């Protein structure tokens, strides 16, 4: 990411920064990989370490299927009836040692604040508008937004009144960044990148709360959720600067890379984490070779599992999926267009599909409760009879 600053900060870091009454603002260095990764410095009204009560809530890790047959899977997430705030509404569907994936129907604001102490989070907004209130400031969101929330960021999701926010989420156990092949040695996105820094939105406003009282921050770390009651409002930052902060990027700003013949899925890559990538399938012109077959060729993800979240449009290679469907095509067996879809794609000029793909380089495990919204016959939908 690129350097930003918001609010009030002193001229030099690690020096005295005084309030009007002569007392000190409290400096916090927040960074990754010890002190060698991306970092920001925040200035608080109160000590960020002040806790008046600490309590263990319990585990948040989902329970997976004990044995998992090697087959293609399809889940109708629209059938999941779990609702609540930005944390309690989370419906875990798949995961492994690198990330957890699920959907959420957010129907109310979070009363408590929340932070993930295990890794970054990615929230993809499918439907709804609202805002993310964070210690770095507020980010407004709308449909199509990817929101990247760095590890340790205190925040809460506030959907607009009388409006539900439907989202796909990834809880990573690592940092989520832009693809390395699209960055130069200085970290700037290159000319051939499908998006650039101009498309990225950081926090819009910074509201600092100088407010005492008891405020709960729910923290995920080491497989459990802990409750920390602070003696002051957790959004008490009056200024910050650096390279680490939450940001948003809308899928509409992803510029697809096309060619004379069908391009492989990596051209759609948008983000990457440790042992996984996120790709965006957006409306685009098809291949322009006179004998091109626009539909993807059959392929085997020998070293990865492929998950697709269907946002909207007519996904030209697949039948039977709905808006909000999730399909999983595991490594080890081939997959590709459904019967008739290859032939139907010939001569077509464009696609209006919109989907998010997540490829993982360790096998994904299925959460037991995901079976309740599964299409049990999906594995056999390639049979032509």
The full set of domain ranges for the chain reads 255-380
Among 114, 103, 263, 239, which Cα is nearest to 168's? 103
pLDDT tens-digit series, residues 124-141: 999 999 999 999 999 999
Per-residue pLDDT at 35: 86
Report how far residue 60's alpha carbon sits from residue 92's, in angstroms, rounded to the nearest whole number.
10
- b/e per residue 189-201 (b: at least 16 CB within 10 A): beeebbbeeebbb
Residue 91 bridge partners (DSSP): 103
Residues sharing a CB contact under 8 Å with residue 271, sequence separation 6 or more, in sequence order: 122, 146, 148, 176, 177, 178, 179, 277, 278
Provide mean pLDDT across the span 299-317: 87
Pairing of strands 99-106, 83-84: parallel
Per-residue pLDDT at 313: 86
Residue 317 has pLDDT above 90, yes or no: no
pLDDT tens-digit series, residues 252-296: 999 999 999 998 888 999 999 999 999 999 999 999 999 999 998
Q: Which two tokens stand for residue 326?
A: 């999730």
Pick 134 or 33 by higher pLDDT: 134
pTM of the model: 0.95
Q: Is 168 exposed, middle or buried (0-12, 13-18, 19+ CB in 10 A)?
A: buried
Alpha helices in the chain (DSSP H): 341-345
Provide mean pLDDT across the span 230-243: 97
First-residue to last-residue Cα distance in the chain = 51
Report how far residue 166's alpha carbon sits from residue 79's, in angstroms, rounded to the nearest whole number.
13
Unique residue bearing structure tokens 């899977």: 73
Residue 76 bridge partners (DSSP): 325
CATH 2.60.120.10 applies to domain 255-380: yes
Per-residue pLDDT at 302: 76
Q: Is 341 exposed, middle or buried (0-12, 13-18, 19+ CB in 10 A)?
A: middle
């Amino acid at each position: 990411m690129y350097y930003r600053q918001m609010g009030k900060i002193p001229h030099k870091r690690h020096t005295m920064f005084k309030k009007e009454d002569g007392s000190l603002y409290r400096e916090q260095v927040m960074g990754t990989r010890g002190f060698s990764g991306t970092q920001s410095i925040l200035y608080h009204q109160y000590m960020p370490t002040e806790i008046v009560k600490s309590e263990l809530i319990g585990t948040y890790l989902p329970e997976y299927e004990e044995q998992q047959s090697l087959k293609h899977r399809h889940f109708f997430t629209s059938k999941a009836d779990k609702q609540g705030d930005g944390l309690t509404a989370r419906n875990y569907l798949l995961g492994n040692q690198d990330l957890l994936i699920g959907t959420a129907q957010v129907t109310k604001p979070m009363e408590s604040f929340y932070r993930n102490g295990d890794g970054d989070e990615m929230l993809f907004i499918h439907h709804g508008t609202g805002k993310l209130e964070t210690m770095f400031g507020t980010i407004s969101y709308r449909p199509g937004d990817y929101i990247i929330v760095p590890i340790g960021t205190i925040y809460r999701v506030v959907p607009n009144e009388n409006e539900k926010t439907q989202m796909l989420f990834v809880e990573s156990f690592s940092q989520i960044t832009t693809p390395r092949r699209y960055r130069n040695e200085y970290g700037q996105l290159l000319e051939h990148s499908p998006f650039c820094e101009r498309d990225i939105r950081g926090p819009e406003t910074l509201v600092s709360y100088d407010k005492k009282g008891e405020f709960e921050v729910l923290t995920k770390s080491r497989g459990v959720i802990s409750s920390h009651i602070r003696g002051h409002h957790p959004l008490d930052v009056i200024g910050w600067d650096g390279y680490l902060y939450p940001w948003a990027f809308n899928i509409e700003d992803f510029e697809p890379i096309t060619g004379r013949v069908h391009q492989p899925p990596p051209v759609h890559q948008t983000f990457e984490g440790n042992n996984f990538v996120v790709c965006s399938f957006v409306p685009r012109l098809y291949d322009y070779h006179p004998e091109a077959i626009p539909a993807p060729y059959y392929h085997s993800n020998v070293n990865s599992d492929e998950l697709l979240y269907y946002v909207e449009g007519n996904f030209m290679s697949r039948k039977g999926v709905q808006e909000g469907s999730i399909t999983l095509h595991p490594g080890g067996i081939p997959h590709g267009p459904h019967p008739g879809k290859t032939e139907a794609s010939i001569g077509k000029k464009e696609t209006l599909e919109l989907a998010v793909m997540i490829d993982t380089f360790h096998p994904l495990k299925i959460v037991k409760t995901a079976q309740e919204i599964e299409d049990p016959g999906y594995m056999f939908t390639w049979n032509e009879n």
